[in-house]
A and B are shown apart, each in its own frame.
Chain A
Amino acid sequence: MDIQHTTLLVIGGGPGGYITAIRAAQLGIATTLVEGEQLGGTCLNIGCIPSKAMIHAAEAFHQAHHFMGDSTLGIHVEGARIDIAQTVRWKDGIVARLTGGVGALLKKHGVKVVKGWATMVDGKTVDVVKDKADTKPVRIQGEHIVLATGSVELGLPGMPFGGRVISSTQALSPDSIPKKLVVVGGGYIGLELGLVYRKLGSDVTVVEAQDRILPLYDEELTKPVVASLRKLGVQVQLGSKVQGLNAAGDAVRVQDAAGRDSELAADQVLVAIGRVPHTHGWGLEKLMLAMNGRAIKVDDQCRTSMRNVWAIGDLTGEPMLAHRAMAQGEMVAEIISGKRRHFAPAAIAAVCFTDPEVVVAGQTPTDAAKAGLDCITAQFPFAANGRAMTLESTDGFVRVVARRDNHRIVGWQAVGAGVSELSTAFSHSLEMGATLEDVAGTIHAHPTLGEAVQEAALRALGHALHI
């Protein structure tokens, strides 16, 4: 068997993998990247990007629809309708442009891209096949291997994907809009997509096993989202367990907290109960790497328990975020090139693109209390922000958490329309080690939503100006 040799072998062409490869190539390391699907991974193909495209389209349609009735803005629209096939084509166009761009970037930097599915042979070797029928694998050996195979959607054992039961991947490319959609899982994926379908006209019911939606965030943050779901007419059943489809296969059997069974009629059931590291089906078990639950255990340099085998991104567990994978990949490439690096971010911001959006960066008040920090917390509501009023979205607030002794900011949270863009300011101030006075003393442009950031800091210091 012919063996191809390379210095760095990257398994997986998602955000973590392609960034590793580009950075390594920039540093003069001979790099080969193996990817079986389209480049770009979950993020570009079936995750972040297409979901944001669909969220935008759904919101635009929702606005148009809204203008058919009484409009405070004085705009009137007649007969707003949506051609969902065209919407999906538009979204696919964006995905194609981005994944094509990744391919071009890899090519420009001289990364060798091998299309196919890799199976681990040992800690330095993989066999790559084009598909399951391919009996002539290409064997590739690398001095270093970066594992970046990402994560996969978790299915429900009692209700496997297929037929009416769809995953988020299928939900992003609908042929038609179901009349009744049941969403299993009240996390960010379920809520983002549930809201898309609601705005496109479906009757949507979200079933969540825990007693509140977005269980990872505190109640103060999720309250505006709950209000918005109610206003938009999304039904939410909390504390309820999904038992499976009924005998006819046209309804979901649900048991509530009190043990009462009921059925929810559904044309489609979207299962969005989370993602798990993609560790099976490609020979990973042969390396017998130390694990951390379902994820591969890595240290602060993304080293696994085997020398020169590295793991990054979703494969290494929570938080499963593309920007974390990219930062890890960049770091690993630099370490392999001989630089001294550690993965030591002050914060990794997480954004939930519901309506309204939710952003969390650094420690929440609860996190800080758990860590034994004595903190000041202050929030500034968008109801007191001029720009928010002009955007007709005054729900939500910006919240800051800072140490009482030296006023160093340890966390930011926000909920509201368009607050995802504030994550930039949040992460920046945390990484720079800013104090409340630093942010309060920075002139923020008027009129912007960002003024709420400055005002939150001012309020923590006891002298907010607009409240």
Chain B
Amino acid sequence: MGIHIIKMPDIGEGIAEVELVAWHVKVGDMVAEDQILADVMTDKATVEIPSSVAGKVMALGGVVGQVMAVGSEVIRIEVEGAGNLKPGADSAAPVAAATAAAPTAPTPAPAAAPAAAPVAGTPAKAAAPAPAASHGSNGSAPARNGNGSKATAALVRAPGDKPIASPAVRRQAWDLGVELQFVPGTGTAGRITHEDLQAYVARAAQAQPVGVSDQRYAQRLDEQTIPVIGLRRKIAQKMQEAKRRIPHFTYVEEVDMTELEALRVRLNAQHGKERGRLTVLPFLVRAMVLAVRSHPEVNARYDDEAAVETRFGAVHLGIATQTQGGLMVPVIRHAETLDLWACAAEVLRLAEAARSGKATRDELTGSTITITSLGALGGIVSTPVINHPEVAIIGVNRMVERPMVRNGAVVARQMMNLSSSFDHRVVDGMNAAEFVQRIRGYLECPATLFVE
């Protein structure tokens, strides 16, 4: 019996570190050759790390969420025969490790290596002579012009001209977060003095009319750099993708929820204890399940590259959920098969799974239409972003008691807006409006949710 160490393979394209996003095995598990051990995320994709050997997992090299360097230890597996770890020679591992790293990653490494080599090589070769050659002619010419003619211009210095300041001034500027490039220099030969820097900062502060010395109105120049990685980067990419590709059409309608609320309160009073409490959401889910039957064009996914819209009989409902890490969309599968309480339980379970990070890949993908709600913070109107490649998203705004005119009299009614966005490429305004009106019809007359 020996120990085999699998190292983080070179994923290529100059990637030096990856984020560990999931373990598929735990210590003590038996693994087969080619079994997937873990998922890692680069800034481009999620990559699976397969096992190159069969054996028993002895130790894991990191925890989920950890950023790991290429070449660092991923896992230790006890194997038949000698492993690649020499007993007592842990530190001599570098030599062993270098050779071991290659065979451990059968899929990514050989594929990446030939691809990466020319990629890395070409720009280097191309870049080296090009700037050197062009700099002399292109690079310096404008600088020379700038020095001569722009000396008196309003701009402090010609583009590309380094700001001249003493080391102490440079340091103070860094501390203040001021780019010296933008500070006019009054010293000889355009040198930036301490006074110039102070004047620049004071001018920026002068924008505030009173209480300059007042701490409550103190100018702040601090800033924080937050790397956009992991889930946040995924969210950013998805949002960008949705907004870039989909021409959104947003439609807002108000819904009288008075009767539905009365029913909900009654059901909770009657069955709340044994079946669990109902929120508005299961009713809305049911209304949508019914409404998509006559509007299959909104319960769909649109592959714009293939120019194919796929409409689904099943309703897989995405529920936008806020988690610690950011927005996630767990999916209620086959919402059409669930009654109010089953739906409520499923919503609860999925939200919990998403928040605790235990939601599986299946529970986070495959939705055909999505609901987004900010609950009590729902506001009056929102403009939801469609969960690409779906074509519709229903946004729930805040429910509030409002004076309404009914039969010539002003009465208090529970009103709630629905703000919904549609992919206008495949859903016409008329269809969208009819779809929302249908949902409204079901919600305003809740009996129709159950009597067909």
Contacts and interface: CB of A to CB of B under 8 A. Distances in A.
B144 interface: yes
A366 B70 CA distance: 44
B97 to A, nearest CB: 7
A155 B255 CA distance: 85
A123 interface: yes
Instruction: Give the one of A135, A372, A435, A438 with max B CB within 10 A.
Output: A372
B189 A408 contact: yes
Instruction: Give the one of A122, A283, A407, A432 with max B CB within 10 A.
Output: A122
A305 B170 CA distance: 26
A119 B98 CA distance: 13
Contacts of A405: 147-148, 151
A374 B67 CA distance: 50
A350 B16 CA distance: 35
Interface residues of B, number: 42
Interface residues of A, number: 43
A431 B147 CA distance: 20
Contacts of A129: 91
B422 to A, nearest CB: 42
A137 B71 contact: no
A431 B71 contact: no
Contact of B16 (A124, A305, A341): A305
A84 to B, nearest CB: 42
Given A339-B175, A374-B144, A433-B189, A290 B94 contact: no
B72 interface: yes
B189 A403 contact: yes
Interface in B53-100: 67-73, 88-91, 93-94, 97-98
Interface in A329-352: 339-342, 344, 346
A433 B175 contact: no
A406 B93 CA distance: 60
Interface string A110-151: 000000000111111101010000010100000000000000
Given A408-B164, A408-B189, A1 B174 contact: no
Contacts of A127: 90-91
Interface string A406-428: 11100000000000000000000
Contact of A122 (B10, B72, B171, B191): B72
A310 to B, nearest CB: 14
Contacts of B165: 433
Contact of B140 (A305, A341, A372): A372
B144 A406 contact: no
B16 A288 contact: yes
A344 B180 CA distance: 12
B17 interface: yes
B171 to A, nearest CB: 8
Interface in B178-209: 187-191
Instruction: Give the one of B71, B89, B139, B187 with max A CB within 10 A.
Output: B71
A306 B136 CA distance: 33
A177 interface: no
A344 B170 contact: yes
Given A286-B71, A408-B164, A306 B16 contact: yes
A307 interface: yes
B126 interface: no
> Chain A binding site: helix, strand, loop or mixed by DSSP?
loop
B14 interface: yes
A285 interface: yes
Given A341-B174, A431-B166, A285 B72 contact: no
A162 to B, nearest CB: 26
A437 B189 CA distance: 11
A247 interface: no
Contact of A433 (B69, B88, B166): B166
B16 A287 contact: yes
A433 B98 contact: no
B129 interface: no
A339 B171 CA distance: 10
Contacts of B90: 1, 127, 137
Nearest to B174: A340
Interface string B294-333: 0000000000000000000000000000000000000000
Contacts of A464: none
B141 interface: yes
A437 B188 contact: yes
Contacts of A431: 166-167
B143 interface: yes
B177 interface: yes
Nearest to B92: A135
Contacts of A289: 16
Interface in A185-214: none
A288 B71 contact: yes
B128 to A, nearest CB: 10
Instruction: Give the one of B69, B143, B148 with max A CB within 10 A.
Output: B69
22 contacts: A121-B72, A129-B91, A137-B91, A285-B98, A286-B94, A287-B71, A288-B71, A305-B14, A305-B16, A307-B17, A307-B67, A339-B174, A340-B174, A370-B136, A372-B143, A372-B144, A403-B147, A408-B189, A408-B190, A408-B191, A431-B167, A432-B191
Interface of A: 1, 119-125, 127, 129, 135, 137, 283, 285-290, 305-307, 339-342, 344, 346, 370-372, 374, 403, 405-408, 431-433, 435, 437-438
